Amino acid sequence: MGLHDSPTGVSRIPTPGRKGPGTPGDAGTPVKLSNPDSRVHVYCRVKPLDYPESSGPAPCVREVTGLNQIVHNGVVAGERTYTYDGVFDRMADQLEVYTKVGRPVLREVMTGVHGCILAYGQTGSGKTHSLLNVSEGQDSTYAGLVPRLFSELFVNIASDFQHIYLVSVAMFQ
């Protein structure tokens, strides 16, 4: 009862003997998204230049503050503008990215809706840094999306005494 067909996700199962709301996704019960803006959201995070890169010519990418745009000044194709749901500039920290990207996904997951976060980019563009960035003995303020999601997920689960949770995760690289 209340388990999803998919092998990944969070399923809430009412605790026997306790009264609580039904589990979203039960047969015959439509799942009502807590966020009506449930489309795919696309964000861009601009990686800071490394030392050798920063001493070279001006970067070919610039952020347009407040418009969620990236302007690419390509040599061959000329200038092109791309608009996203959000743009994280070179100064954005891991907490800012988590708050804007991870937390809304977790909020939906806690209602029984599956969540997915995908990082896409060239080798060395910062995907692993944004998603994981976990090193032994490292300060947790540098943790990426995945460790923050897991931490907050289990804090939320521990505070819900009306359900038993089944958590499954799939990750690919």
Question: What's the chain's length in residues?
Answer: 173
Is residue 145 within 8 Å of residue 97, measured between CB atoms? yes
Q: Are 10 and 173 in contact (CB under 8 A)?
A: no
Is the CA virtual torsion 21, 22, 28, 33 positive or negative?
positive
Binding-site members are 121-128
CA separation for the pair 26, 28 (Å, rounded)? 6
Is residue 90 classed as helix, strand or coil in its secondary structure? coil
Strands (E), the chain: 9-14, 43-45, 61-64, 69-74, 78-83, 86-88, 163-168
Annotated binding site for ATP: 121-128
- What is the sign, positive or negative, of the torsion defined by CA atoms of 108, 170, 144, 141? positive
